[in-house]
């Protein structure tokens, strides 16, 4: 299976107040997000994290990545410090990627686009960054934990969130 997520912000206490995440402290936040991730993602699954993994004050990124199931890819976000982008636990790191699942072209970036490659040919833009506070364009989806039940999600779940028929992949 392939999953998408964004804006986990492990160790970044700002998300508790800015995004009103339902946790009394960062320890509870981080433990819960790790548990939800591992309840969802199997060790052989693939996860595309669309940026803002963790605070630079949150510890060792490789230690965190080793605690999370799956083969992990990073689409770099504005809050990803060099320690995160250079961590050995990533299968790949980039600012932008295009991926096809079940004949559906996905354009992946931390930031939501106004336009994107093959937009007129039904390509979908998956992004993070906005924490659910931005009205989406058609075929544009925020995959951040704030709008996805605090866990990674599959493309079928993302597309079903707006009533679109979803591929099986």
Task: Give the HSE-up count for residue 154: Cα atoms under 13 Å, Cβ half-sphere.
Answer: 15
Per DSSP, helices labelled H in 19-95 are 26-40, 61-67, 82-85
Q: What is the pTM of this model?
A: 0.94
Q: Is the pLDDT of residue 169 over 70?
A: no
High-pLDDT (> 90) share of the chain, %: 90
SS3 state of residue 28:
helix
Which domains are seen in the chain, by residue range? 2-160 (3.60.21.10)
Query: Which structure tokens are listed for 38?
Result: 């591992």
Q: Give the tens place of pLDDT for each residue, 60-117.
A: 999 999 999 999 999 999 999 999 999 999 999 999 999 999 999 999 999 999 999 9
- Chain length of the chain: 169
Looking at residue 163, what is its pLDDT? Answer: 57
- State the Cα–Cα distance between residues 169 and 162, nearest whole angstrom: 17
Query: Which structure tokens are listed for 134?
Result: 């931005």
Compute φ and ψ for 18, nearest 5 degrees: -70, -45
Radius of gyration of the chain (CA): 15
């Amino acid at each position: 299976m392939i999953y998408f997520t964004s804006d986990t912000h492990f160790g970044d206490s700002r998300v508790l107040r800015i995004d009103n995440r339902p946790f009394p402290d960062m320890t509870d936040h981080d433990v819960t997000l790790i548990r939800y991730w591992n309840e969802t993602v199997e060790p052989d699954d693939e996860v595309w994290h669309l940026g803002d993994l963790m605070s630079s004050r949150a510890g060792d990124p490789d230690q965190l990545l080793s605690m999370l199931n799956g083969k992990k890819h990073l689409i770099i976000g504005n809050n990803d410090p060099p320690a995160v982008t250079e961590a050995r636990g990533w299968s790949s790191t980039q600012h932008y990627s295009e991926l096809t699942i079940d004949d559906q072209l996905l354009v992946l970036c931390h930031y939501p686009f106004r336009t994107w490659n093959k937009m007129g040919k039904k390509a979908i833009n998956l992004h993070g960054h906005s924490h659910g506070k931005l009205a989406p364009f058609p075929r544009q989806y925020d995959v951040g934990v704030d709008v996805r039940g605090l866990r990674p999600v599959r493309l079928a779940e993302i597309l079903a969130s707006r009533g679109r028929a979803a591929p099986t992949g």
